[in-house]
Amino acid sequence: MFMSGNNSAPIVLAGTWPYQLIFRDDDNWQMTLDDVNHRDYDYIKLHRLSGTFDVGLDPIYLAIGFDGSLILPLFGELSNKKTYQRIFNTFLGKLLFGGVFFESVTTADISLGEMTNEGYFRYIQTPNGFASRIHRLLQEVEVTSLEAIQLLNPPNITLSSIYNALDKGNNILSNFPNLSVAQLLSGITFLNKWEWAEALIFIWTSIEQIINKIWIEEIYNKRNEKGVITKRSKFLMDERTWTASTRIELFYQKGLIEVETYRLINKVRKARNDFIHDGIVPNQNNAINALQVLMRVMSKIITNYQKPNELENIEKLILKYMQRSLLPKKKRIHDDQIVAWRKIKPIPGEKNWGEKEFEKVEGFEFERVPIEVLKENENYKEEQ
């Protein structure tokens, strides 16, 4: 996988998120609150390789570290951040359909590193991306106690579970050779980060790729007799004649999609067109509907058009990791559920500030704004 004859080799790597440790069969991880506060933990293990995977680049393999970092060799003059991003995210997308969730890797997360012949690696740059930056800081013990708390009882996945997820994901996605898995994972990550417009555009693109697959297999290939009319093959593949809406209508009439999917897909198509043509910003329902449509049409294909909910578990897994709303539901936490806590420093105006002097902000005061006024504001209405 790496250069021979040297003690180390250049690599390209990216940190994954959410932060999860990758356990081999005999692995464990022990850390106390005292270890967190003193940043006294097994940093060496965070540098260790856990396993390698065949991602279709023979003889090159993708590696994954104990800390979840993804690793590939430096391709020299062929190296390009977008190439590594596509390879990493295709791998992570396959894991998703196997039941293991990671967000997509950004180009800001991709960094240079080095790996020793002993199977240990490190970042040799400080990445700009949030996920990779956290991975590097934890490896090099350059974190605060607040960041190090992630190593206290962190989530972990066994290497065998990763292999199983990859096999299952490969099996499902082999039905969709024209689907850009990396782009699809980016759309899902946008959804989980509440970027509704980006999520809708990316996921709708994946839906159109699947619509095209259904069209070719169920319409073009099945009734493509030669000599019926001149240039019929070209006519059937003319997207100006057979638009997405026309194809969807035909699928519904032929019974390839059922009523609920038909309704949802037309809602999503309208939301996408409203945004593209009229600048109407999509909302949360538009983006979640797009995800539901995607999972339903993929389910129909992998079950020979029998079941629309075969991938419902993947949909639930994705929504499980969606960011919390700005105003989360109130939840009572009992004393025995508190694992750790820390004091925060006071600011002027808070009860525990006391009588200390502070710099005054002149000309500032609160004024209550009626909710009715906000509801009439165009910027407020866009996000509802």
The string of pLDDT tens digits covering residues 40-63 is 999 999 999 999 999 998 899 999
Strand order in the sheet with 60-65: 49-57, 60-65, 70-73, 8-14, 110-116, 121-123
The alpha carbon dihedral of 350, 326, 313, 155 has a sign of negative
Find where tokens 């259904």 sit.
214
Cβ distance 47 to 139 under 8 Å? yes
Q: How far is the C-alpha of 91 from the C-alpha of 54, rounded, in Å?
A: 10
pLDDT over 90 at 2, yes or no: no
Q: Please name which of 118, 124, 97 lies closest in space to residue 12, comparing C-alpha atoms.
A: 124
Q: Structure pTM?
A: 0.89
Helix, strand, coil in percent for the chain, rounding step 5: 45, 10, 40
User: Quick one: pLDDT at residue 334?
Assistant: 82
Q: What is the tens place of the pLDDT at every residue in 169-212?
A: 999 999 999 999 999 999 999 999 999 999 999 999 999 999 99
- Is residue 199 within 8 A of residue 191, CB to CB? The reply is yes
Q: Which position has the higher pLDDT, 339 or 133?
A: 133
Q: Of 76-80, 86-90, 106-110, 314-318, which gets the smallest average pLDDT?
A: 76-80
Give the residue with greater pLDDT, 1 vs 333.
333
Please give the pLDDT value at position 1: 42
Residue 62's beta-bridge partner residues? 53
Is residue 34 within 8 Å of 85, Cβ to Cβ? no
Which residue in this structure is represented by tokens 């694992």? 339
Q: Which is nearest to 264 in space by CA: 240, 243, 241, 287?
A: 287
The answer to whether 162 and 188 are in contact (CB under 8 A) is no
Do 131 and 68 touch, CB atoms closer than 8 A?
Answer: no
- What element of type H or E holds 114? strand 110-116
**Mean pLDDT value of segment 144-168:** 94
Interval 226-244: pLDDT, tens:
666 667 677 777 677 788 8
| Cα distance between residue 46 and residue 267, in whole Å | 46
pLDDT tens figures, 23-40: 999 999 999 999 988 999
pLDDT, the chain, mean: 90
> How far is the C-alpha of 92 from the C-alpha of 259, rounded, in Å?
32
Looking at residue 381, its pLDDT comes to 59
Mean pLDDT computed over 70-79 = 86
Q: Where in the chain are the domains?
A: 8-172, 176-320
Query: In the prediction, which pLDDT does 229 show?
Result: 62
Element spanning 257, H or E: none
pLDDT in tens, 265-283: 999 999 999 999 999 999 9
In SS3 terms, 59-110 reads as CEEEEEECCCCEEEECCHHHCCHHHHHHHHHHHHHHHHHCCCCCCCCCHHHE
Res 221: pLDDT:
77
Is the model's pLDDT at 122 over the cut of 50?
yes
CA distance 205 to 197: 12
The residues near 280 (Cβ < 8 Å, ≥ 6 apart) are 271, 274
Confidence of residue 223 (pLDDT cuts 50, 70, 90): low
- What's the mean pLDDT in 366-374? 84
Q: Is 141 in contact with 122 (CB distance < 8 Å)? A: no
Residue 378: pLDDT band with limits 50, 70, 90:
low
Give CA 315 to chain center in angstroms. 12
Q: What is the pLDDT of residue 88?
A: 97
Q: Average pLDDT for residues 8-18, to the nearest whole number?
A: 95
| For residue 346, pLDDT beyond 60 | yes
How high is the pLDDT of residue 3? Answer: 44
